[in-house]
Structure 1
Amino acid sequence: MTKFIKKYLTITIASFIFGAGISLFIDPNDLAPGGASGLSILLSRLIPIETGTMFMLINIPILLLGVWKFGVKFILSTLYTTFMVSAATNLFKLMQPLTTQPLLGAVFGGVLVAAGVGYVLRAGATTGGTDIIVKCLRLKKPHLKTGTIFLAVDSVIIGIGGIVFGNVEAVLYSIISAVVTSQVLDMILYGRDEAKLIYIISDSSAAITERILREVNIGVTQLSGTGAYKKEEKQVIFCVVRKQIAHKVEEVVRQEDGNAFMIITNATEIYGEGYKSYFGEKL
């Protein structure tokens, strides 16, 4: 029961954040940054129906697709989310917009929409619309990030928005909003690991390994390698370290072997102990 309450409380709060982003920032600035919400904004300009209500109507056929792909249990929470987003969007529509500057609307609206969608997804539901379409696509293409797929789908709606509004600037601001949403959404869902992947080849590998384990306190893997030129056996030190403490590894290597061969690169997605759960992050 506690888990159930926590889930739906999260969904409710996230739905209101989503609705605030649409009604207080994006909609009043004539932006259509994509998704079912962007399509709702466009259609509300052509048909005298509130944006939130239009959002609910657009989702009906998409929810039927969700029932087919994910089952009734999944759709129950999504149906609740869709209703709450629709209600929140119409509710915030009664308030004055917080800004009439398109750039501010694009940035802050994009952040709020991404936060709303992100925490709904983390709660195990969707806000309907393109969320369900994206989930269907990830069944076929699981290697693609959620935010990346959203950006691709949103591009089509942004293009339509340019035709409806007849305003190139609105299209450009919508693109900014879509990019902001994509980046913030990936940050919420996948986090920012800010880690470095380091390979070290040295004649002092034993001493370097011992100091990294003791002083930096991170895991180290030793790989066996053979130099192609001299045919000499080498121990290759392999480790992943948080960006904030990567310099400690570099300092250890510098002190133990100034001639060591070291490769340092960015690690963008890390799963396992101390980082993310593989199964928990595939959203």
Structure 2
Amino acid sequence: MEALLKRKFGRETKDYLAITLGLICYSIGWAAFLLPYQITTGGVTGIAAIIYYATGVEIQVSYFIINAVFLGFALKILGPKFSIKTIYAIIMLTFLLWFFQMLFKDDSGKLPMLLGPGQDFMACVIGAGLLGFGIGLVFCHNGSTGGTDIIAWIINKYKDVTLGRMMMYCDIIIISSCYFIFHDWRRVLFGFCVLFVMSIVIDYVINSARQSVQFLIFSRKHDEIAQGISTQINRGVTLLDGKGWYSKQDIKVVVVLAKKSQSLDIFRLVKDIDPNAFISQSNVVGVYGEGFDPLKVK
């Protein structure tokens, strides 16, 4: 019981550290690249940026107020665990947005164009990459930066739609609305460019983290290997009956489906038990069920 609690506490700590790192990347993307060039995108942060450009109200203030409303929906539909991490992310991001703006401001109190004047598109791409990487890290550890992220998570909970694509649908209206502030279609196009790059980076980060592999392990010490994988790696194991065509001898085949991040641990365990084991590893397109992604069908 004590070991289980330690493992759970360690996993939660890693989640919060990863979420914090993601929020730092997200905040730097806004403070260093998007805000100085007056570029916006979707989501609550995009709405807060539009308010900032139009009225001068600090982006973190609008962001916090709007998310306080959305948080009620997350608490009811996505559960308290999700909401706790969301509350943490909202509070932390509010602070980080303020902190990095203060850090990057020059002596005149303005955010400088770090890439120089006329580099709007480059700022757009770099900023979008940082935003997408940051949000991807947050999503991988069951967190949310609030706003349209919550809407994307709610739909993703019931339908097999990628988070990046769902956020794109939610944010098109927000980006288009910035035309009424700037009366400049160029700003709208930059906003869509940010959204496009963000969606690609988010899906890449999430799919990389969730990639699964399949192991076929041939060994005479199959019982020890199966027991070790089950208890130490905490993965289910299946034993299949096999027969060597050349040797005509019966043998058990250990079949394991695991996260790609667990591959090295499995290789080490098998090597310690049976250095002569024959191992086949292959990537799988998707694994659904207990311990992996939930099966979502209409």
TM-score tier by shorter-chain length is: 0.5 to 0.7
Query: Which runs of structure 2 are paired with 1:141-160 in the superposition (5 Å)?
Result: 142-160=159-177
Q: Which runs of 4+ in 1 moved over 3 A?
A: none
- Please name the residue that 2:92 is paired with: 84
Aligned amino acid, residue 118 of structure 1:
G
Residues 67 and 147 in structure 2, CA contact (< 8 A), matched pair in contact too: yes
Aligned amino acid, residue 131 of structure 1:
D
Aligned amino acid, residue 98 of structure 1:
L
Aligned amino acid, residue 271 of structure 1:
G
Residue 98 (str. 1) matches residue 106 (str. 2)? no
- Please name the residue that 1:32 is paired with: 40
Separation in 2, partners of 1:82, 1:281: 30
Separation in 2, partners of 1:81, 1:281: 28
Aligned amino acid, residue 70 of structure 1:
L
2:130 pairs with 112, 119, 122, which one? 112
Residues 281 and 35 (structure 1), Cα distance of their counterparts in 2 relative to 1, 3 Å cut: farther
2:142 pairs with 124, 127, 131, which one? 124
Residue 271 (str. 1) matches residue 286 (str. 2)? yes
- Please name the residue that 1:182 is paired with: 199
Residues 32 and 157 in structure 1, CA contact (< 8 A), matched pair in contact too: no
Residues 287 and 293 in structure 2, CA contact (< 8 A), matched pair in contact too: no
- Please name the residue that 1:16 is paired with: 24
Q: CA deviation at 1:47?
A: 3.5
Separation in 2, partners of 1:68, 1:48: 34
Aligned amino acid, residue 187 of structure 2:
A
Residues 153 and 88 (structure 1), Cα distance of their counterparts in 2 relative to 1, 3 Å cut: same
Separation in 2, partners of 1:106, 1:280: 35
Q: What is the SS of the residue equivalent to 1:156? A: helix
Separation in 2, partners of 1:164, 1:92: 25
Residue 161 (str. 1) matches residue 178 (str. 2)? yes
- Residue-by-residue CA offset, 1:154-212 (whole Å, 9 max, x unaligned): 2111101121111111111111111000111111111398xxxxxxxxxxxxxxxx9xx
Residues 19 and 86 in structure 1, CA contact (< 8 A), matched pair in contact too: no
Q: CA deviation at 1:72?
A: 2.3
Q: CA deviation at 1:138?
A: 1.9
Residue 73 (str. 1) matches residue 81 (str. 2)? yes
Separation in 1, partners of 2:15, 2:294: 15
Separation in 1, partners of 2:170, 2:24: 23
Q: What is the SS of the residue equivalent to 2:285? A: coil
TM-score (normalizing by structure 2): 0.64
Residue 170 (str. 1) matches residue 172 (str. 2)? no
Query: Which runs of structure 2 are paired with 1:49-64 in the superposition (5 Å)?
Result: 49-64=57-72
Q: CA deviation at 1:97?
A: 4.3
Query: Which runs of structure 2 are paired with 1:228-239 in the superposition (5 Å)?
Result: none
Separation in 2, partners of 1:152, 1:134: 9
TM-score (normalizing by structure 1): 0.67
When the two structures are aligned, how many residues end up with a matched partner?
A: 205
- Please name the residue that 1:135 is paired with: 153
Residues 105 and 280 (structure 1), Cα distance of their counterparts in 2 relative to 1, 3 Å cut: farther
Residues 16 and 84 in structure 1, CA contact (< 8 A), matched pair in contact too: no
Unmatched tracts of structure 2, length 5 or more? 1-8, 105-111, 212-244, 246-283
